[in-house]
A and B are shown apart, each in its own frame.
Chain A
Amino acid sequence: MSHALTLITFIPLIGAAVILALPATMTPIYKWIAAISTVPQLIIAVWLYVRFDTTTTAVQFAEHAPWMASYHINYFMGVDGISISMVLLTALICFISVFASFSVSRAEKGYYALLLMLDTGMMGVFVSLDFFLFYIFWEVMLLPMYFLIGIWGGPRREYAAIKFFLYTLLGSVLILLAMLGLYYYGPTPTFDMTQLAANASGYSVSFQRIVWIALFIGFAIKIPAFPFHTWLPDAHVEAPTAISVILAGVLLKMGTYGILRVNFAILPAASHQLAWFFLGVIGAINIVYGAMCAMAQTDYKKLIAYSSISHMGYVMLGAASFTAAGINGAVLQMFNHGTITAMLFILVGVIYDRAHHRDIGGFGGLAQQMPVYAGMTGFAFFAGMGLPGMSAFISEVLVLIGAWQTHPILTIFAAATAILTAGYLLWTYQRIYLGPFNEKYKAFPDLSFREAFCLVPLAVIVLILGVYPHAILGLLNTSLVHLNQVVLAAPATAVAMLH
């Protein structure tokens, strides 16, 4: 399979084409075509996982072909330790999100076609190593998401979709400008990310700083980092369940992935100078602020959205620590947050499908009526709290171990937030699942087979990575330790340049 990455990226697109080509009357089969299109992706992802060489920092499974030669644009795909775990995550979440979509009953043809296009866009972002190609995929992702929220969303979907669109467009423009800046002002014009990284010392430090900040804002909007985060709660609240799953499970990771892939690798000197504030301080603010806002929510889904903001802060803080433990923890946290938050949004969807509201105060005692559902939610909540034995514990502890070395004060805030997280999650749990049973809901069935089918694989992964995190960490370590050293070594280069 020499074209594994091309296949894993474009197979969903073929699925989308098939769906669109079919007559509009074939509604019952669109979802199955979508499901079938995500299976090869998952298989290829597992194949990549098995074949991935964990001992090298080199790009693997590379595909290289000239594209627009006069502009030095190439079709360049490949994965390394920074991206391999995200490829796995994307394939997994997309597969599950198709099944989580089965409750959608409106304009299914368009829905599944857009969902598969979104899949291609996301996968493309993680496998592209040509900045131009990366950017194309980044944009490809934007429109399907906009439509999926704006058309299949809740009552305020238009507001949420436009807000998402404008925020993301602002980010895209900044990334575009930064990309063109790197292209034109480098020693040799190129979009090749490995080449750009090798050119790092060719840019003046002040130029690096400007580009770095532009890129940071572009990526920070996706994370989302404070204060660019307010699109997320609205988008989540309005988005259909499966779209929330993708949004939280994969899309947010593109922000932090971009920072590692572009900011860190291509602009190490600026990263070394600026990360303490933009990733460290803002990351800590994300952690604390997200948790405190989550405490104040009355909408179940909005609460999970804010908790998502809080947990993405750990990724930023870990990256800012400039330690091997911290950066490993950061990328592992991206993976773990993807699986856990996907569970949480599916679980919110379960109750929304039945009750048609998400008012936390409007439930009560559901554990009696839906014990399996309540048990699964408890599991996901404790996973979200970073309970030891589950995956997020490993990543959060690694982040904090790393951050404690360089940012002790921020780490105290981050560690103390674990208390708030337990507070709002358990309080929510109590209000919805414990206490006297609200008789209004006595007709509710427990988890269906389909819902359990979406949740159980994620739960199993959460448990496995809690006791055997090496399954993912093993992929990351070599590349991330190297990336960290590149950034740490950077100031010397930068200073040399100034003279």
Chain B
Amino acid sequence: MTVEFPALTLILIFPALGVLYNLFLGYRTGRGAVSFVGPAVMFVAFAVASWAFYEIMVMPPGSVLTYSVWGWIEAGNFHTSIGLRIDALSAVMTMIVTGVGALIHLYSVGYMAHDEDFARYFTYLNLFALSMLILVLADNLLLMFVGWEGVGLCSYLLIAFWYTNPQFAYNGRKAFIVNRIGDAGFLLGMFTLIWALSQHGAWSLDFLTLKARASDIASTTLVGTTAATVAALLLFLGATGKSAQIPLYVWLPDAMVGPTPVSALIHAATMVTAGVYMIARLNFLFVLAPAALMVVATIGAVTAFFAATIALVQPDIKKVLAYSTISQLGYMFLGVGSASFAAGIFHVMTHAFFKGLLFLCAGSVIHALEGEQDMNKMGALRTKLPITFWTMLIATLAISAVPPFSGYFSKDLILEAAYESGHTALWILGVITAGLTSFYMFRLIFMTFFGESRVDHEKEHHIHESPPSMAIPLIALAVLSSVGGWVGLPEGLAWGDAFARFLAPVVGDFKPLVVGNPAMLSLVATSLGGIGIIVAYLFYIRLPGLPVILAWRLKGAHQLLLNKWYIDELYNFFVTRPLFWFSNTILNRGVDHYAIDGAVNGAGLTVETTGEAVRRVESGNVQHYAFVYLLGVLGVVAYYIYLVIH
């Protein structure tokens, strides 16, 4: 059932109003008004989203709410419109974006309270929400790309929010450029789809048309494979940028210099999951491109493992969480790559809860310690920051997939799907990563909240729990991190996997290729997670000297991980520097200056001597020249008038 639902525009209009208000009036009306308007527009958007979600729930399965705003681009055969669409998939995403978004907007009021550029911050944050909602609600791929690049813009603006620090400005720029590499892939993927459809007489990027014509795309051959595979791989390149996967993940850890609520909202809960959403949205295309799906699953599993290894040794609390995010995103791609799109989106949701919460808790710790992010200078904060401690512990249990916390159900579903798709090797990687995850997360908890205090002496006295505007979002997200996974229980238990059933009309059912024993699979993963916790306990509570000794004994490996496998350095050496050398030395100096201009100046030997003539003109009477010239032009006009008259 398709229902016209004009109220969908309200979900965009309210954040847009927030942007306009904060941009043009925010500085004049002051902090109080901005603190109200910034979060309020998000809560209203959340209310409208809930209404739409309710409509979808009560309508028959497979129903959609649509609203077409206007025709957007019409050129020759190519048509695309600005149209919005809510089905089960976008309903879930809209709820996450507006719900978690509203909480983080609220948290920001407290976190940014002392910042001079309060209005600018909320301008960007509202603009981000607007872009993300365009991405989610778009009914065609080109409009989705508007949101896709829009969130990238906001990410840039917010990473470089404290722009007077050149390093922060650099990191923002790095994020945008790396994302642009992915975006070029996204664009070419779209063009490939248009090209393939045009071969069959259609020129459209509507999801409906694409779905109806998916078999046409899959039957069009291109460079030795099908257009579906080429397009899927190119689009996935876009996803590796936005969702920080190998090889384009390098921007995300550097993005942590932005304000911490930004890390929670953009770089954990919402924007970085856009790639997963895009693949789930285009599930009909990806299932017809098994080779591309295989690439997605492999990249996902390898990224999950790789990023987890780096997270093991990082001393910066936000860096640990950043690599953890990359790792968890890897799980989501393993899920969608195993053709279990519902599992991937399920993890998007639970991850939004627990990782959003982890970042907000980290923010609370950093706020309490006046900007300190090094875990070597924390410790024993458990009693001083009780709300932060307990909520963060819940989030940690969730990400470590301890039942019955939310992360357990979603991660379990992904690993099961990986196994049952026949990706045994990837399943093993995923299970090992589960062990690494609970190790590095409990390392974080133990180093921050347990043991002896290593806090700087002068900061020790100022430690304070966060204000209510920050504590409320923590508690709300803690509740969601605890029970949010229960919408997707294992089959046969109570209401079973209601989440997957809800999404099935959009993303299809998961069809296992290999039969596994879900209980067995779950037990293996959960046991490894448990071992991770125990090892972390041994290392950081019982035998605190052990990590130091290990780091010293395994110096090479430790350095490799601490320096993030030297990937940034490799990129710099093999890509950035050669590019600058080529443009400076070869093109600008060599070709432009010496070759072309050399030839031009040689040919025009007279240039210098003629220059003398101009100098005389200049010293002479300009008006005279202009006048003579005008006379000539007027003469021509006069002649014309003469001819017309006669």
Contacts and interface: CB of A to CB of B under 8 A. Distances in A.
Interface of A: 10, 13, 16-17, 20, 24, 65-67, 75, 107, 109-110, 113-114, 117, 120, 136, 140, 143-144, 147, 150-151, 158-159, 161-163, 166-167, 227, 229-231, 289, 292-293, 295-297, 323-325, 327-329, 332, 365, 367-368, 382, 387-389, 393-394, 397-398, 400-401, 404-405, 411-412, 415-416, 418-419, 422-423, 426-427, 430, 433-437, 467-470, 473-474, 477, 480-481, 484
B629 A117 contact: yes
A422 B169 contact: no
A400 B633 contact: no
Given A109-B623, A401-B191, A162 B597 contact: no
A85 to B, nearest CB: 13
B191 A404 contact: yes
For the complex of A and B, list the 3 residue pairs with the smallest distance between their C-beta atoms, beginning with the closest.
A324-B76, A296-B588, A328-B75
Interface in B116-170: 142, 145-146, 148-150, 153, 156, 160, 163-166, 169-170
Contacts of B148: 388
Interface string B309-353: 000000000000000000000000000000000000000000000
B590 to A, nearest CB: 11
Contact of A436 (B166, B195, B633): B166
A367 B591 CA distance: 35
Given A227-B596, A404-B194, A292 B629 contact: no
A117 B626 contact: yes
Contact of B76 (A161, A325, A412): A325
A230 B596 contact: yes
Contact of A162 (B77, B181, B192, B611): B611
B643 A65 contact: yes
Given A20-B630, A110-B626, A473 B75 contact: yes
B617 interface: yes
Contact of A411 (B74, B75, B188, B604): B188
Contacts of B618: 150-151
B166 A469 contact: no
A147 B596 contact: no
B424 interface: no
Contacts of A473: 73-75
Interface centre among B75, B76, B588 (most CB of A within 10 A): B75
Contact of B188 (A65, A382, A412): A412
Contacts of B634: 13, 17
A230 B600 contact: yes
Contact of B611 (A13, A158, A433): A158
Contacts of A470: 71-74
B203 to A, nearest CB: 8
B377 to A, nearest CB: 26
A437 B163 CA distance: 10
Nearest to A112: B626
B194 A401 contact: yes
Given A405-B198, A437-B164, A293 B592 contact: yes
B177 interface: yes
A359 to B, nearest CB: 16
Contacts of A436: 164, 166
B195 A405 contact: yes
Nearest to B576: A423
A422 B75 contact: no
B149 A397 contact: no
A400 B164 contact: no
A365 B184 contact: no
Given A113-B630, A296-B587, A434-B166, A426 B173 contact: yes
A62 B629 CA distance: 28
A384 to B, nearest CB: 13
8 contacts: A65-B644, A117-B630, A163-B607, A368-B164, A387-B153, A415-B187, A435-B166, A473-B75
B181 A419 contact: yes
Interface stretch (B396-404, B458-466, B505-513, B578-586): B578-586
Contacts of A143: 629
B74 A158 contact: no
B150 A147 contact: no
Given A150-B617, A163-B607, A65 B191 contact: no
Interface centre among B596, B615, B626, B636 (most CB of A within 10 A): B626
Interface in B166-198: 166, 169-170, 173, 176-177, 180-181, 183-184, 187-188, 191-192, 194-195, 198
B166 A400 contact: no
B82 interface: yes
B70 A468 contact: yes
B73 A394 contact: yes
B164 A435 contact: yes
Given A20-B627, A365-B164, A411-B188, A162 B610 contact: yes
B164 to A, nearest CB: 6
Contact of B177 (A17, A144, A419): A419
Given A24-B623, A293-B587, 18 more contacts: A13-B637, A110-B623, A113-B623, A117-B630, A143-B629, A151-B617, A166-B604, A227-B596, A292-B583, A295-B584, A296-B588, A325-B76, A388-B150, A401-B191, A423-B177, A435-B165, A467-B72, A474-B74
B618 to A, nearest CB: 5
Interface in B600-616: 600, 604, 607, 610-611, 614-615
A416 B170 CA distance: 21
Contact of B77 (A113, A166, A167, A325): A325
A419 B184 contact: yes
A430 B587 contact: no
Given A150-B617, A388-B149, A401 B78 contact: yes
Contacts of A16: 626, 630
